[in-house]
């Protein structure tokens, strides 16, 4: 049984993330979506909210487990007896950072592989940061986010603005 761990901040989960989860289910028997606290990124949603939204969006997908994790990713991967880290690659601009992370993780634990998957091109420009900007300026979110995630984002931005 091949297990992949898909880590990220998911602030909030977008259709781009979901696209990667669906693709990874074609490669792995089980996918663990691991939501990281990432306080240095100063997320808009707290960890519990991000976890809840990922659970909501992936509810209908078989063989997906959604968790939060603390500490080193490679340690978590080993603890779960997983085979690989899954990351999405949108564009060349993602490459440098992802390449560094994959090699650092390999240095930390040489048995952990990183697998990169490319999203559908319609999501290749999509980032959680851009979506938050679109939401702030009242743009339409339905092409990018699950309706309930969009609703929560608008509510959050509304409360922040007041």
Nearer to ligand ADP by Cβ, of 4 and 8: the residue is 8
**Is residue 128 flagged as an active site residue?**
yes
- Selected catalytic residue, list 41, 59, 63, 155: 41
Nearer to ligand ADP by Cβ, of 79 and 125: the residue is 125
Neighbour-count burial of 126, counting CB atoms closer than 10 A to its CB (0-12 exposed, 13-18 middle, 19+ buried): buried
Nearest approach, Cβ of residue 102 and ligand ADP (Å): 10
Contact 152, 54 (CB under 8 A): no
**Is residue 41 flagged as an active site residue?**
yes
Alpha helices in 25-146 (DSSP H): 47-58, 73-79, 92-108, 128-136
Nearest approach, Cβ of residue 62 and ligand ADP (Å): 21
Question: For residues 95 and 105, what is the distance between their CA atoms, to the nearest angstrom?
Answer: 15
Binding site for ligand ADP (CB under 6 A): 7-10, 14, 16-17, 20, 38, 41, 87-88, 90, 94, 119, 123, 126-128
Question: For residues 153 and 110, what is the distance between their CA atoms, to the nearest angstrom?
Answer: 39
Nearer to ligand ADP by Cβ, of 87 and 162: the residue is 87
Q: Give the residue numbers marked as catalytic.
A: 17, 41, 90, 128
């Amino acid at each position: 049984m091949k297990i992949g761990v898909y880590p990220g901040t998911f602030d909030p989960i977008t259709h781009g993330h979901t696209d990667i989860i669906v693709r990874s289910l074609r490669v792995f028997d089980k996918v663990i979506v691991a939501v990281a606290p990432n306080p240095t990124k100063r997320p808009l949603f707290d960890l519990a909210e991000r976890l809840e939204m990922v659970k909501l969006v992936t509810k209908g997908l078989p063989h997906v487990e959604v968790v939060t994790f603390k500490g080193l990713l490679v340690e978590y991967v080993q603890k779960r007896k997983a085979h690989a880290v899954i990351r999405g690659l949108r564009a060349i601009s993602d490459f440098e950072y992802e390449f560094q992370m994959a090699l650092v993780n390999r240095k930390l634990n040489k048995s952990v592989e990183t697998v990169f998957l490319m999203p559908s091109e319609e999501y290749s420009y999509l980032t959680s940061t851009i979506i938050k900007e679109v939401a702030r300026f009242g743009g339409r979110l339905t092409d990018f986010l699950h309706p309930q995630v969009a609703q929560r984002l608008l509510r959050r931005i509304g409360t922040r603005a007041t």
